[in-house]
Structure 1
Amino acid sequence: MHKNEFRDNLSKYANPKEYDETYKSFTADLEFIKAQLAESQQTIIELACGTGRLAIPLARKGHLVYGVDIDAGMLKYAQEKADAENLDIHLSVQDCTLLNLPIKTNFIYMTGNSFQHFLTNESQDALFVSVKRHLKPNGEFIFDTRNPILHELLHPDISEEMVEINGEMTKVSSREIYDPLTQILECTSAYTSIKNVYKDNIKLRYTYPLELKRLLHQHGFELVQIYGSWQKTEFTANSISMVVHVRLK
C-alpha cells in the first residue's frame, strides 16, 4: 500500500465557503466538460470535486454525477449547495487512488490542477489504476495540470501584499520553493490581520509532458489531445497548463 500523501496537504481548503467564493467565477473548465458531454445525459465521475463548482451545474443539466473528494469539509459544503437546489448528486469522501464506486462510466474528469496533489510516482500510478477500474472500454478521462516552466520554477518566489479577506485588510506573505529532485513546489502563505494570524501550505508535483505520455501508455491509455488551456489553445513549451484528454484502449 502506498503512503497516503494527501491528508497533510489540505490546509488550503480549510474554509470551503471562502474557497468556493474565490473560484466561482472560473468557468472555462466547466464549459469544456459541457461541450465534451454534449446534450446527452450521462452518468459521470468527478474526482477531487471540492465544493461542487462543476458537479452542481452538470447535475442541473441532467447528468448523474458521482463526486469524490478526500476533504470532508469541502464535500459537506457541496452537499449543502446541492440540497438547496434539490439536486441528486452522489458525493463521497474517498482517496482517488483507492476509488471505490458502484458504477463504471464512459467519462471521468478532474480539474483545478488536482493532478498535482499526487506527489509520488506510486500515487500517480494508483490514480490511473483507480480510473481504469471505473471506466468502460473506450471510456475517456480528462484532467489538467500545470506545465513545468523551469525558468520560472527554479527562482524562489517570495512576495508580500495587502488583500481584503472577510472584510478585513490582511497582510499575505507567500513563499514558493521548487525542489528539482522531487519535482515538488512547496507553497507557504502566512496571513496577518488585526483579528487573525494563520498559515497554510500546499505541495504541488510538476510532471513533464514526455513523463506524462509514458505514464499514460504504461496504464493502457491513448492520448487524444493535450491542450495549452481549457479554451483548447495549442500546447507549447510556454503554456501555463496541460489539459489532457485520454481514452482507455
Structure 2
Amino acid sequence: MTKLSVNINKIATLRNSRGGNVPNLLQVAKDIQEFGAEGITIHPRPDERHIRYQDAYDLKPIVITEYNIEGNPIKKFMDLVLDIKPTQVTLVPDAIDAITSNAGWDTIKHQSYLQEVIAEFKKAGIRTSIFIDTDLKLIEAAAKTGADRIELYTEHFASEYEKGNKETVKPYTKAAILAHDLGLGINAGHDLSLENIKFFKENVPNLAEVSIGHALISESIYLGLENVVNMYLHKLKG
C-alpha cells in the first residue's frame, strides 16, 4: 500500500496567524498518526512563515511513524536535518521567497551539487528524495546523484485532471517505470487531493509514498480530520 505522509505546514500557518499555540501543532501531529497516517511531513522555510525551525526539533519525539523534512538544502536547512536525523529528507529547489514549491530539480545542471549534498545526508543514515518533474532525462540523472527516491511534482497532473484531462497522468506513469528500473523509490506530491488520488495511485506503479497537505487540511474543514485521513488511506489501498 502507498503510504500517506501528511504535510502539517497549513496547521502551522493557522497557528502563526494569531501568535499563540492554537491549533497545537504537536497535538495535531499526534492525532494524525493515531488516525492512521504513516508519516508526517514539514517544509520549513528560511522566513519561518509557517513551520518554525524549533517545530522541527519539537516534532522529533512526537513523530513515531516516518518523519519527512522538505526544503532547499541551504546550510541552515542542512544543519537542521543533520541534527534531527529524520527518516527522510526531500530536497526541493524552491526560492527563498516562493509561496510554494513550483518546480523540480534540474538534476543534470545541478548533479554534482546534489551528489555532494546527498552524500552528507546518507552518511548520517537519512533516506534522500529529490523533488522532480517527469522529464525522463532528469530521472536518469537523478539516479546518478545517489538519491534513494524521487518525489514526482504533481501540480500539472492535478490541474489538468480537474479539467477532465486524464491523459496527463501518462508522463508520470513513464517516469515511475523508469525510476523503478533505475533502482529509485517513487514518492509524489503537490495538489494531490481526494478527487484525484485514487486515479493517480492506480496509474503510477510502485508508488511508495504521497505527501499531502493543503488539500487534506482544506478538506478536513468540511469533513473532519480523522475522517479525511481515513478516506485517503482507503483510496491508497491496493
TM-score bracket relative to the smaller structure: 0.3 to 0.5
Q: Which has the higher contact order (CA 8 A, sep 6+)?
A: 2
Normalising by structure 1, what TM-score?
0.33
More helix, by proportion: 2
Larger Rg: 1
- TM-score with structure 2 setting the length: 0.34
